[in-house]
Structure 1
Amino acid sequence: MRIQKIKNRGTLFTYTTSSGWDLNVHLIMSEKYNYIIDTGLGSLSINPIKEYIKDSNKPIIVINTHYHWDHIWGNGSLRNYIIISHKLCREMIESKWKDMMHKNKQYCYGEVEMNLPNLVFEKELYFPEDKIRIIYTPGHTIDSVSVIDEEEKVINVGDNIDEIIPSIYCEKDLYIDTLLKYRNMDFDTCISGHNVILGKEIIEKILSIL
């Protein structure tokens, strides 16, 4: 596991799986809450983050960027906290859980237990005291959301950016609309589920390829 600071209040925990691909779990320690963006492959993805913030007395808020197994299997280790997702994400976790477990159980990292998001939204949620905005940004999947730290101008786009262009499981036009939305946002640092830290110029690069 690698731990990397993101500006002043962000930290990126990067795990390398047995198959050699990287997976990021993003922590933002803000004024009122500690935000954990995605929960990885199980309890062992979450334990280092709990240890990292053990001296903080701020409540935890968890955000699932989309329903895919490698982003939600650690939810069970955070069942006492608010877990936010798009409304479609909760529905898709519940309907696809058994199939995802059957096909990918070799990647379980510690204990894995289904724990559904308990706060869902459709378009946007905003935490004004922390300047954290969560918005619906379909692309990689129809339920994808992005998290913007407006104070530090950092965005987490989940898997809407992969090595460059992700696999797209919804209409391509929806993904392009999301990229155009990103273009108009005020950020300079881009975090994604599996890539290294990138700058905003990656958005124009993807648009030019598409």
Structure 2
Amino acid sequence: MKINKIKNRSILFTHSVPLGWDLNLQLIIGNKYNYIIDTGLGSLSIEPIKEYIKHDNKSIIAINTHYHWDHIWGNSSLRDCTIISHKSCRKMIELDWEYMMNKNKNYIAGEVVMCLPNLTFEKELYFPEDKIRIVHTPGHTIDSISVFDEIEKTINVGDNIGDSIDEIIPILDCEKDVYINTLLKYKEMDFDICMSGHNTILKKQVIEKILNIL
């Protein structure tokens, strides 16, 4: 597991999954809250982040960028915290939980118990004290959301960018036009660093590159 300090308050925790892919979880240390973006494969995914902020008494807000198993299985380690998702994400976790568990159980890391998001939204949430904006950005999945840090000008797009430099277009669970609208929304945002669920840290230019390919 690698810990990479991106900017002053943004840290990326990258887990190398045995079958050859990386999984990124992000911590943003805010003024009022600490934000954990995605919770990984279980309690062992969350443990290093908890250790990193063990002397910080601020409340934790966890964010599920979408309903897929590798982004939500650590929720139960944060069951006493606010867990945010799009409103459709909560429903999709409930519907697909058993299927996701049975199909991907070899990836479980520590304790995994279904723990649903307890704060959902439709279009946008904003935390003014920390200048954190959470926006519905459908693409990879219809419930996908992105987390924009207005102070440090970073964005976490979940799996709305593909898993490697060579494959930057993700698998889409929506119409291409819906995804293009999300990319155009990204273009309007003032960020310079782009993080995602599995790829390396990228610059904003990747958005234009994807649009050109499409």
Aligned residue in 1 for 2:15: 15
Query: Is 1:168 equivalent to 2:172 in the alignment?
Result: yes
Aligned residues with identical type, % of pairs: 72
Summarize deviations over 1:57-109 as a string: whole Å, max 9, x none.
Answer: 10000000000000000001100000000000000001000000010000001
CA distance in 2, matches of 1:184, 1:50: 34
Helix, strand or coil: the match of 1:158? coil
Partners of 1:90 and 1:171 lie apart in 2 by 21
Letter in 1 for 2:175: E
Aligned partner of residue 194 in structure 1, secondary structure: coil
Instruction: Measure, in 2, the Cα distance between the counterparts of 1:25 and 1:182.
Output: 20
Q: State the partner residue of 1:108.
A: 108
Task: Note the aligned Cα RMSD (angstroms).
Answer: 0.4
Any residues of structure 2 matched to 1:1-210 within 5 Å, and which? 1-162=1-162, 163=164, 164-210=168-214
Aligned mates of 1:111, 1:129 — CA distance in 2: 33
**2: CA distance, partners of 1:153 / 1:199:** 11
Gaps in structure 2 of 5+ consecutive residues: none
TM-score (norm. length: structure 2)? 0.98
Runs of 4+ in structure 1 over 6 Å off: none
TM-score normalised by structure 1 residue count? 0.99
- Distance in structure 1 (CA, Å) of the matches to 2:9 and 2:151: 10
Q: Using the alignment, how far apart are the partners of 2:7 and 2:48 within structure 1?
A: 20
Q: How many residues matched? A: 210
Other structure's SS at 2:76 match:
helix
Residue-by-residue CA offset, 1:24-64 (whole Å, 9 max, x unaligned) = 00000010000000000000000111010000010000000
1:58 maps to amino acid: K
Distance 2:156 2:67 in 1: 15
The residue type paired with residue 106 of structure 2 is Q
The residue type equivalent to 2:113 in the other structure is E
